[in-house]
Amino acid sequence: MKKRKVIGFVGTGNMGEALIAGLLKAKFTTPDQVMAFDADGERLRFIQKKYRVKKASDNNYLSSQCDPLILCVKPQSVKEVIEEMADSLDPSKLLISIAAGVPLYAIETYARKQLRLIRVMPNINVLVQEGASAIASGNLATDEDLKLAKAIFDCVGRSITIHEPLMDAVTGLSGSGPAYVFLVIEALTDAGVYLGMTRAQALTLVTQTVLGSVKLLSDTGEHPVLLREKVTSPGGTTAAGLYKLEEGGLRKIFIDAVIAATQKSKELGDKLKQ
CATH code of the domain in which 155 resides: 3.40.50.720
Map 94-147 to HEC letters. Answer: EEEECCCCCCHHHHHHHHCCCCEEEEEECCHHHHHCCEEEEEEECCCCCHHHHH
Is residue 1 domain-resident?
Answer: no
Measured CA to CA, the distance from residue 36 to residue 34 in angstroms comes to 7
Q: Are residues 188 and 233 in the same domain?
A: yes
Q: Are residues 235 and 263 in the same domain?
A: yes
The predicted structure's pLDDT at residue 101: 87
Write down the pLDDT at residue 10: 97
For 220-267, write each residue's pLDDT tens digit: 999 999 999 999 999 999 999 999 999 999 999 999 999 999 999 888
Residues 84 and 216 in one domain: no
User: Is 84 inside any structural domain?
Assistant: yes
Residues 31, 149 share a domain: yes
Sign of the alpha-carbon torsion through 233, 238, 242, 243: positive
Asked whether residue 145 falls in the same domain as residue 247, the answer is: no
Number of domains in the chain: 2
Statement to judge: residues 92 and 194 lie in one domain: no
Q: Report the distance separating Cα 103 and Cα 119, nearest Å.
A: 8
| Residue 274: predicted pLDDT | 59
Q: Is 172 domain-assigned? A: no
Domain of 200 in residue numbering reads as 177-269
pLDDT given at position 31: 96
257 shares a domain with 185: yes
Return the pLDDT at 43: 96
Structural domain includes residue 35:
yes
Cβ atoms of 79 and 99 within 8 Å: the answer is no
Is residue 195 located within the same domain as residue 222? yes
Residue 169's pLDDT is what?
Answer: 96
Q: Are residues 126 and 214 in the same domain?
A: no
Same domain, 183 and 150: no
Q: Are residues 23 and 137 in the same domain?
A: yes
pLDDT at site 71: 97
Structural domain contains residue 112: yes
The confidence score (pLDDT) of residue 98 equals 95
Boundary (domain end) residue, out of 104, 133, 167: 167
Say what the pTM is. Answer: 0.90
Partner residues linked to 70 by β-bridges: 9, 96
Q: Give me the pLDDT at residue 2, please.
A: 46
- Supply the pLDDT for residue 4: 60
Q: Is the dihedral of CA 226, 245, 174, 219 positive or negative?
A: negative
Give the integer Cα–Cα distance in Å for 90 and 113: 8
Local confidence pLDDT in tens for the 274 residues of the chain: 345 689 999 999 999 999 999 999 999 999 999 999 999 999 999 999 999 999 999 999 999 999 999 999 998 899 999 999 999 999 999 999 999 889 999 999 999 999 999 999 999 999 999 999 999 999 999 999 999 999 999 999 999 999 999 999 999 999 999 999 999 999 999 999 999 999 999 999 999 999 999 999 999 999 999 999 999 999 999 999 999 999 999 999 999 999 999 999 888 877 766 5
